[in-house]
A = this chain, B = another copy of it.
Amino acid sequence: MNEPRVPRLKDVAAEAGVSVSAASKILRGDVGRFGEETCRRVVATAERLGWRRNLLVSSIQSGRTMTVGVMIPPYDSFWVKVLSGIHHRLGEADYLPITIWQGDLDHMPHFEADEQEGLRQINRLLDRRVDALIMWPTFAVAYRRHISDLAERSVPVVVIDYEPDEPICDTVGTNEALAAKTVAKHLLDLGHRRIACISSRESQSQTWALERREEFERAVEVQSDAEVRSWRLNREGTNGVEVATELLTSDFRPTAVFAVTDHEARHVYDAAAALGMSIPSDLSVIGFADLDFAAGLAPPLSTVRQRPREIGVEAASLVLQRLDGTVSGPFTKAKIEADVILRESTAPADQ
């Protein structure tokens, strides 16, 4: 077998007629006082043989792999953009993200069920000595304990869109409070006074859903003659249309609905259509997330667009700062602004 081997540094050194340590130094640009001619020869030889530094070796020696483990599935366009931001920022710094997502994309993965599987995933990354970890909320919730362990091994962790009462690591999220307030103001300004809120399951890992709804309720109630009522989907999030129907046919008779997510807004659309209500003349609807389908709904959905790419970039930046020591000490809570996108699903309330 003459399997074409990847050339070694010693091959380059031999060819160029220098010692291995000389070759090593020269090729790293640490020219020292080596002869100009020698340097040229070594560099040329390396190029000719197609030699490339073995980063695994550097990693072992320096204790830094320049990789970051990323535990975020591309669950929807929001998370894909977050991932894109992470890749972008990390790439700039010559770090490489290593993303892990087992399981299929159709069901939002929950690890409460299979503790072992998640642990296996963390360990696969750790065994490859990633310098840090970025994860999404579901994961963080399931592995709170381990995140603290990681801190002890000085592996910084950043979690996105998750804000437990007592912080366990750095977090990056959307400025939910401000966004919810702006949405409330928009609906109030249009004259709506009976406003419903439809929320998702608000599990432990969805602190944003909770915050979004609560801030929204608070902001509506500032207007003394306005009333707000909230409905929530079941644990599995499977009864969206039923809940939306219930909400629309309740004696509350809302003229506007704020959906904590575009997913729920879509359920409201479906329920309204089935009930023969038309949007926005009978009912204003506003969502959150500006998911792929939002602009394509009929009518196009007004919604709040987060800045997932910025969120990803910020998460990566935080990780890098922890790694180079620029940031140290107490955990950071980064908040990225969101933009209210007005389309055609909101209109003035009937007088």
Which A residues are within 8 Å of any B CB, using their own CB?
Answer: 3-4, 6, 50, 52-57, 59-60, 65, 67, 73-74, 80-81, 83-84, 87-88, 91, 94, 96-105, 123-124, 126-129, 149, 152-154, 292-293, 296-298, 309
Whether A96 pairs with B74 at a CB distance below 8 angstroms is: no
CB < 8 Å neighbour of A55 from B84, B94, B128: B128
Q: List residues of chain B with CB within 8 A of the CB of A6.
A: 153
Whether A128 pairs with B56 at a CB distance below 8 angstroms is: yes
Whether A91 pairs with B102 at a CB distance below 8 angstroms is: yes
Whether A57 pairs with B60 at a CB distance below 8 angstroms is: yes
Whether B105 pairs with A100 at a CB distance below 8 angstroms is: no
Chain B residue at minimal CB-CB distance from A125? B96
Complex Cα spacing A144 to B50, Å: 17
Q: List residues of chain B with CB within 8 A of the CB of A123.
A: 52
Whether B293 pairs with A127 at a CB distance below 8 angstroms is: no
Complex Cα spacing A3 to B151, Å: 11
List 8 contacting pairs A-B, 8 Å CB cutoff, sorted by A: A4-B152, A52-B126, A54-B129, A56-B56, A84-B101, A87-B99, A96-B100, A293-B293
Q: List residues of chain B with CB within 8 A of the CB of A127.
A: 52-55
- Copies of this polypeptide in the complex: 2
Complex Cα spacing A96 to B70, Å: 12
Complex Cα spacing A53 to B241, Å: 50
Chain B residue at minimal CB-CB distance from A60? B56
Nearest chain B CB to A135 CB, angstrom units: 16
Whether B88 pairs with A80 at a CB distance below 8 angstroms is: no
Nearest chain B CB to A148 CB, angstrom units: 12
Complex Cα spacing A6 to B59, Å: 14
Complex Cα spacing A3 to B101, Å: 31
Whether B96 pairs with A55 at a CB distance below 8 angstroms is: no
Nearest chain B CB to A273 CB, angstrom units: 11
Q: List residues of chain B with CB within 8 A of the CB of A309.
A: 104
Whether A80 pairs with B74 at a CB distance below 8 angstroms is: yes
Report if A56-B129 is in contact (Cβ < 8 Å); known contacts: A80-B80, A292-B292: yes
CB < 8 Å neighbour of A4 from B53, B99, B104, B154: B154
Q: Which 10 A-B pairs have the closest CB atoms?
A: A55-B127, A74-B80, A91-B102, A55-B128, A56-B56, A84-B105, A56-B60, A74-B74, A292-B292, A4-B152
Whether B96 pairs with A96 at a CB distance below 8 angstroms is: no
Known pairs A91-B100, A98-B98, A296-B296. 8 more at Cβ < 8 A?
A4-B152, A53-B127, A56-B56, A60-B60, A73-B84, A84-B105, A97-B99, A293-B293
Whether A88 pairs with B60 at a CB distance below 8 angstroms is: no
Nearest chain B CB to A54 CB, angstrom units: 6
Nearest chain B CB to A331 CB, angstrom units: 18
Q: List residues of chain B with CB within 8 A of the CB of A60.
A: 54, 56-57, 60
CB < 8 Å neighbour of A292 from B73, B74, B293: B293
Whether A65 pairs with B74 at a CB distance below 8 angstroms is: no
Whether B124 pairs with A100 at a CB distance below 8 angstroms is: no
Complex Cα spacing A212 to B123, Å: 44
Q: List residues of chain B with CB within 8 A of the CB of A102.
A: 87-88, 91
